[in-house]
Amino acid sequence: MALKFYQDYKLGILGGGQLGRMLIQSGTDWNIDFSVLDPDPLAPCRTLCEFKTGKLTDFDTVVDFGQSCDLITIEIENVNVEALKELVHQGKKVFPQPEVIELVQDKREQKKFYKTNNIPTSEFILVENKSEVKAQKSFLPAVNKLGREGYDGRGVQMLRTANDLDKAFDAPGLLEKLIDFEKEISVIVARNENGETQFFPAVEMVFHPEANLVEYLFSPASISKAVVAEAERIAKKIITDLKMVGLLAVEMFVTKDQTVLVNEIAPRPHNSGHQTIEANTTSQYQQHLRSILNLPLGDTSLVHPSAIVNLLGEEGFSGQAKYNGLEEVLKLHGVHVHLYGKKLTKPFRKMGHVTIVDDDIHSLKKKATFVKQTLKITT
Ligand SMILES: Nc1ncnc2c1ncn2[C@@H]1O[C@H](COP(=O)(O)OP(=O)(O)OP(=O)(O)O)[C@@H](O)[C@H]1O
Ligand SMILES: [Mg+2]
């Protein structure tokens, strides 16, 4: 069968950020033309594709955009799902399916899904407002999360003691048990229309305590074989239960007694998979394309152990970005710098990442620390 996407095929992406940018970089090798919609005229994808400016949450804008594409995918979940359903109704392919995006948009729905499908997750209570949270003193220590529109830790509030209750969100959300985890890991899994599934080896994340953003990532995660097997089982079960087509990142906690609990899922390329570009046989971006185009899924095996250092805007600097220490970092072996094309920096803004590959774990960690300390984004 001729693969139609080699010619005159237009893949639409809702969202023009760094994930879209790396997806385009991967699809370019397959002659895929991309069209991207993003509200920001300065979004990272702007120079790499047919770029349209418009609101991702506006029904008409998304329908109009989708009509000029052969297939529509996302790089961000906060999009108009009704418009995507309308496009499916009109005969367009939309992957991940609008129903999956709808479920993921609401952390409350995600939690209910885990419960219904016997997927291990932290205990939780649904709450409608601040006073309902305040009534749950005996449930503490807990984490209060906004149901919708929280991202990069902005919809997450730790409530350790009764003194913290005043920080609760006054909006529909949930309260979940604070997990005293040993590690945070992620497994990225893909599924195509034929139902074939394939996961990437688990990775391990280290979070920035203040910003709630991933600060370092190591691949592979140093966890026992039993934990790896459980994490893979869970990831595969979720994507299969959802009957989802595309790429799904499953963020999980490993507790001190080695139980694996799902934190949340993201149905798209994910920041816990950037390192696959250099460190795995197939990158998460190519795997996403393979899955939504119903092609054979690629081999995900590890070529090298790797680390990611996220390049976040330094605190205290806002304005035109300046990259300090780049030359020193580029002198190291196995270092790959990815800048996201954002002109303006601000504190903790994700400006790029560096992937380091090294077969010696000790040297890998040393290089990651050096990159972290040397490469600074200021103005
Ligand atoms: N129940 C919990 N117990 C302990 N820590 C938690 C819990 N839920 C979340 N966290 C911490 O807060 C971080 C952010 O939470 P979560 O992933 O739900 O939010 P998010 O805003 O969607 O994040 P992101 O967009 O960065 O993935 C987690 O990675 C974890 O470190
Ligand atoms: Mg998260």
Q: What is the pLDDT of residues 71-106, one digit of tens each?
A: 999 999 999 999 999 999 999 999 999 999 999 999
Tokens of 253: 């906690």
Mean pLDDT, the chain, integer: 95
Per-residue pLDDT tens digits for 332-374: 999 999 999 999 999 999 999 999 999 999 999 999 999 999 9
Ligand 2 centroid distance, CA of 362 (Å): 27
The pLDDT score that the predictor gives to residue 152 is 72
Judged against a pLDDT cut of 70, whether residue 302 lies above it is answered with yes
Q: Which residue's CA lies nearest to atom 22 of ligand 1?
A: 151
Whole-number Å distance between alpha carbons of 370 and 129 = 44
Q: What is the pLDDT of residue 1?
A: 41
Q: What is the CA(12)–ligand 1 centre distance, in A?
A: 29
Rg (CA), the chain: 20
For residue 230, report the distance from its CA to the centre of ligand 1, in Å: 20
Cα–Cα dist 166/159, whole Å: 9
Residue 107 CA: nearest ligand 1 atom is 18
Three-state SS string over the chain comes to CCCHHHCCCEEEEECCCHHHHHHHHHHHHHCCEEEEEECCCCCCCCCCCEEEECCCCCHHHHHHHHHCCCEEEECCCCCCHHHHHHHHHCCCEECCCHHHHHHHHEHHHHHHHHHHCCCCECCEEEECCHHHHHCCHHHCCEEEEECECCCCCCCEEEECCHHHHHHCCCCCEEEEECCCEEEEEEEEEEECCCCCEEECCCEEEEECCCCCCEEEEEECCCCCHHHHHHHHHHHHHHHHHHCCCEEEEEEEEEECCCCEEEEEEECCCCCCCCCHHHHECCCHHHHHHHHHCCCCCCCCCECCCEEEEEEEECCCCCEECEEECHHHHHCCCCEEEEECCCCEECCCCEEEEEEEECCCHHHHHHHHHHHHHHCEEEC
CA 203 – CA 188 distance, rounded (Å) = 9
Mean pLDDT over 318-341 rounds to 97
Residue whose CA lies nearest to ligand 1 atom number 26: 152
The residue with tokens 């499916």 is 88
Q: Looking at residues 196-213, what average pLDDT do you find?
A: 83
Q: What is the pLDDT of residue 215?
A: 72
pLDDT at 269 over 90: yes
Q: Is the pLDDT of residue 67 over 80?
A: yes
Buried (b) or exposed (e) across 309-322, using 16+ Cβ within 10 A?
bbbbbbeebeeebe
Residue 129 has pLDDT above 90, yes or no: yes
The residue whose C-alpha atom lies closest to atom 16 belonging to ligand 1 is 153
Q: Is the CB of 204 under 6 A from ligand 1?
A: no
Average pLDDT over residues 206-227: 82
The Å distance, Cα 157 to ligand 2 centre, comes to 13
Which residues, in sequence order, are CB contacts of 288 under 8 Å at separation 6+?
A: 23, 73, 190, 246, 247, 268, 269
List the residue whose alpha carbon is closest to atom 19 of ligand 1.
153
* pTM: predicted TM-score of the whole model, two decimal places: 0.95
What local confidence, expressed as pLDDT, does residue 206 receive? 80
Q: Ligand 1 in contact with 263 (CB < 6 A)? A: yes
Distances (CA, A) of 13 to 172, 188, 272: 29, 20, 20
Question: Do residues 274 and 287 lie in contact, with contact meaning Cβ atoms separated by under 8 Å?
Answer: no
Name the nearest CA neighbour of 145 among 131, 135, 155.
Answer: 155
Does any ligand 1 atom lie closer than 6 A to the CB of residue 122? Answer: yes
| Token pair listed for 10 | 């237009």
> Residue 216's pLDDT band (boundaries 50, 70, 90)?
confident
pLDDT at 5: 62
For residue 153, the model assigns a pLDDT of 74
Q: Is the shortest distance between the CB of 173 and ligand 1 below 6 Å?
A: no
Chain-centre distance for alpha carbon 157:
20
Cα–Cα dist 229/236, whole Å: 11
- Which of 114, 143, 184, 270 should be mutated for ligand 1, with most atoms under 8 A from CB? 143
Q: Percent of the chain scored above 90 by pLDDT?
A: 92
Residue 151: its pLDDT value, please?
73
